[in-house]
Every structure is written in C-alpha cells, then in structure tokens.
A and B are shown apart, each in its own frame.
Chain A
Amino acid sequence: GAGVSQSPRYKVAKRGQDVALRCDPISGHVSLFWYQQALGQGPEFLTYFQNEAQLDKSGLPSDRFFAERPEGSVSTLKIQRTQQEDSAVYLCASSLTSGGTYEQYFGPGTRLTVT
C-alpha cells in the first residue's frame, strides 16, 4: 500500500528565500508529525497535527517556520527567509491516533540545502 510521501525530495534554496515542503500521509492516519534531522543526528520534533488542528508546535525553532494541514490530510511546512542553519532533512510521519502502538510511519524526507 501507499506509504507517506514527501515532495520535493531535494531542495536547494538561496539564503533568504522562502520554501514549502509537502507531506502526504498514509490515508486514514489522523496524526501527522514533522521532524528535522541534521546530519549525523537523530530526528528532532518540530510540530504535530491531529486532523487539521495543530496541537503542538513547541519544536519549531523560530517564527520563520510555519506548518499547516487545512483539510486534515496533506500538510505543508513553510520556512520563510531561509538561513544556512535550516539545512537539514525534513521528515514527515503519520500514525493512527487511538489504541495500539502509536507507531509512526516516516516518509522519505526532503533534503533542504540553503546556500
């Protein structure tokens, strides 16, 4: 079956540009997460949605980062005025909300390079 998909897979932006990263979760998954993974590190939490509601955005590093999920399915992570320190892989994950393992299924990621 279809897994989590992300686009673009690679993005090169000049410092100061705005970027938008897209995530298509597994159909029927209520929960959606964004993580940032720096080179050689584990993923770090950015933000969490349950359906269209953004319930936790405590991991967003600055107000240049903005995420939305207006219809409770596809999500977009937007970074305004990109900086070099934003270079990382951005991972999206989705999961079922209730019961069971709460296992998160990850997409392939978007590798963002800010030059």
Chain B
Amino acid sequence: ELKVEQNPLFLSMQEGKNYTIYCNYSTTSDRLYWYRQDPGKSLESLFVLLSNGAVKQEGRLMASLDTKARLSTLHITAAVHDLSATYFCAYRSSSARQLTFGSGTQLTVLP
C-alpha cells in the first residue's frame, strides 16, 4: 500500500522560530511535491523535488529530498504569521500518474 506519513500533524510556533516538517513515504518515488492550502482554498504548489539530494528554497521555506531514506523535509526559517496554513507533501510513484498525499501539517504561527 502506498503511504505518506507527515509529522507533526499540528504545529504551533512563535514568529521568528525555526522548525521542520517531516514527510516519510513508503515506496520508490520519482517526484516529491509540497503544497500549501489555506482554509477554504485549493492547493498551491510550493516545490517539486526530482532527485536524491535535491534542495529548493523559496523565501523562508526550504525543501529537501532523500530518496534512500524515503524522506522529505520542509524547513521553516524565522516564521512569520503569513506562513500559517496547512502543508501537504505528496509523491508520485514510478508506476502511477496520480499523487498520494499525506494528512497534512496544520501550521499556526503565533505573534
């Protein structure tokens, strides 16, 4: 069974702090994706990671991929309130076209 496990599921952090969200997946993947979802909104693509060791950064967010460990991380640096949202990781297995999503991490950044 294809599975994606994210942790933590809920995260409250103060502005200015750093934290990491972890995403473990169960099988060989050739693509790993991070999405952001605001309440009542659709999914906004943040990062696409294509190969082992890939690292991408945008503003205060940095994503990385370790295909050997089947682990991706989303690191938040010096959090600000605008980052409050739910973050999903998803992977596309080598044998399927669809994405398999984790349960999401609901991030709340407190002043």
Contact = CB atoms under 8 A, between A and B. Distances in A.
Interface stretch (B11-19, B38-46, B62-70, B72-80): B38-46
B97 A101 contact: no
Interface in B95-110: 96-104
Classify the interface of chain B: helix, strand, loop or mixed.
strand
B33 interface: yes
A8 interface: no
Interface residues of B, number: 23
B50 interface: yes
Interface of A: 31, 33, 35, 40-45, 48, 50, 55-56, 59, 91, 93, 101-109
Contacts of B43: 43, 91, 93, 106
B88 interface: yes
Contacts of A45: 98-100
Nearest to A45: B98
B103 A103 contact: no
B21 interface: no
Contact of B98 (A40, A41, A59, A101): A59
B101 A42 contact: yes
Nearest to A31: B97
Contacts of B50: 101
Given A42-B103, A106-B35, A106-B42, 20 more contacts: A31-B97, A33-B98, A33-B99, A35-B98, A42-B88, A42-B90, A42-B101, A42-B104, A43-B101, A45-B99, A56-B97, A91-B43, A101-B48, A102-B31, A102-B92, A103-B33, A103-B48, A106-B43, A106-B44, A108-B42
